[in-house]
Amino acid sequence: MLRVLEGKDYNDMSRIAANMIFAQITLQPGCVLGLATGSTPIGTYNHLVECYKKGDLDFSQVTSVNLDEYRGLNGTNDQSYRYFMNEHLFHHVNIKPENTHVPDGTNPDAVKECGRYDQLIETLGGVDLQLLGLGNNGHIGFNEPDDNFEKGTHCVNLTESTIKANSRFFSSMEEVPTQAYTMGIGNILQAKKILLIVSGTAKADIVRETFTGPITPRVPASILQLHKDVILVGDKAALSKL
């Protein structure tokens, strides 16, 4: 089932998304949150930090698992997703560091690392609420357009368009990682609830394709049509063609 919530602008959309996560933590203090990185969730995290600082939100029992991490980057690298999460959320709230999980980009053994992460998610009892952004090509996590849906955590070769999109964060193209560890489509679909956030006119076409087009691995996010509980939160611009 798909529920669509529209915000007036990016800030309003971020507030609505934060309220969904706020409600999840309030109703289930020991919940497992699946978290995402990228520019879209920053506003959502800012709102959650504000709620915590006001004394309205307690992260002390929350566990988090992140969708992905660049292969080859350690958590102290300012372009790693561990660093991103520390900067935008973890270091500003009372979540226990040992309860925050991100794939280990420094593990050179892809099979071992992916197996470890799948096992971790299973041990935690799965994800209660999974936050997702949406790539311009329909990717969720780093599940890029492909000929089939990858089920579990895997090592992915990033597409040229994704590498190019990420290059704005690095001083040269040579520094941009070309691979990442990412949760698979199967991991994402097993989440009890999915919260997809989108912002801006540039996302309008892919939002429409994701939810009104065919289910195909060429548009990885289209698989969300099969999930029983998806909340799509977007600003007016991103939802304009839905």
Q: CA torsion, points 66, 68, 70, 74, in degrees to nearest 10?
A: 20
Respond yes or no: is residue 68 known to be catalytic: yes
Q: Which helix (H) or strand (E) holds 43?
A: helix 42-53
Q: What is the three-class DSSP state of 234?
A: strand
Question: Mean of the pLDDT values across residues 31-43?
Answer: 97
Give the range of the structural domain holding residue 63, as residue numbers without chain letter. 2-235
Number of domains in the chain: 1
Catalytic residue among 139, 143, 154, 235: 139
User: Which of the following is catalytic: 68, 104, 113, 235?
Assistant: 68
Catalytic one among 69, 113, 128, 144? 144
Residue 241 falls within a domain, yes or no?
A: no
34 contacts: CB under 8 Å, gap ≥ 6: 64, 65, 66, 67, 127, 129, 130, 131, 183, 188, 191
- For residue 139, indicate whether it is catalytic: yes
> Does 155 reside within a domain?
yes
* Contact between residue 21 and residue 44 where contact means Cβ atoms under 8 Å apart: yes
Percent of the chain whose pLDDT exceeds 90? 91
Residue corresponding to tokens 């990682």: 177
Which residues have CB under 8 Å from 45's CB, separation 6+? 18, 88, 89
Q: Are 129 and 24 in contact (CB under 8 A)?
A: yes
- On whether residue 22 sits in a domain, the answer given is yes
144 included as an active-site residue: yes
Q: Is the pLDDT of residue 178 over 80?
A: yes
- Mean pLDDT confidence for 143-164: 90
Whether 10 contacts 43, CB under 8 Å: yes
Domain with residue 123: its CATH number is 3.40.50.1360
Using CA atoms, how far apart are residues 86 and 46, in angstroms rounded to an integer?
12
Coil vs helix vs strand at 48: helix
pTM for the model stands at 0.95
pLDDT at 131: 98
Digit-coded pLDDT (tens) for 75-101: 999 999 999 999 999 999 999 999 999
- Residue 240 covered by a domain: no
CA 101 to chain centre: 13
So what's the pLDDT on residue 5? 98
Q: Determine the Cα angle at 178 with ends 173 and 183, to 5°.
A: 140
Q: Which of 12, 46, 137, 146 is catalytic?
A: 137
